Amino acid sequence: MTHELAGRLVVALDLDGATDKAGLMDRCARALDLPGWFGRTWDAFADSLADHTVRPEGTVEHGLLIVVDGRLPYATARPEEWETAREVFAEAVRRTPSLTVALTLGGSSRPRADLPG
């Protein structure tokens, strides 16, 4: 799902239900609309985040904000993979001034049944 915030494209990356690297890469490919040739490796993911030619139009000038939600179950089940993913996000942000990645505080994007609303 994409939105705009102050001209910046906002992409929701929902990892809820991702149980392994393949699932994480599939979620990333869909959310970021990565090309079919995206190799689903850590290096390919890092390159795709930094490559303005595969990012949605206007994100170089106005910016791209990726909001990562539902990461805690994946991070708990696959801590080494999550650490690598976090490092890839961090490096892409360092290399790409128009990119921001935000991690939500919640563990899941699904509402809890025991909470109202």
Average pLDDT over residues 86-90: 95
Q: Is residue 57 part of a domain?
A: yes
| 72: nearest Cα among 45, 25, 44, 107 | 107
Domain containing residue 76: CATH number = 3.30.370.10
Q: Is residue 49 part of a domain?
A: yes
Q: Is residue 55 part of a domain?
A: yes
pLDDT of residue 112: 45
The CA–CA distances, whole Å, from 85 to 6, 54, 107 equal: 27, 19, 16
Calpha distance 24→29 (Å, rounded)? 9
pLDDT at 110 over 90: no
Q: Is residue 7 part of a domain?
A: yes
The residue written with tokens 């949605």 in the block is: 56
| Of residues 105 and 100, more confidently modeled | 100
Q: Is residue 30 part of a domain?
A: yes
> What are φ and ψ of residue 6, in 5° steps?
55, 40
pLDDT at 113 over 50: no
| pLDDT band, residue 116 (cuts 50/70/90) | very low
C-alpha dihedral over 2, 3, 5, 8, to 10 degrees?
Answer: 40
Q: Is residue 99 part of a domain?
A: yes
Average pLDDT over residues 12-27: 94
Average pLDDT, the chain: 83
Expressed as residue numbers, the domain containing 47 is 2-103
| Of residues 78 and 108, more confidently modeled | 78
* pLDDT tens sequence across 39-83: 899 999 998 888 877 766 656 677 889 999 999 999 999 999 999
Please tell me the total count of domains within the chain.
1
Average pLDDT over residues 72-97: 93
Q: Is residue 111 part of a domain?
A: no
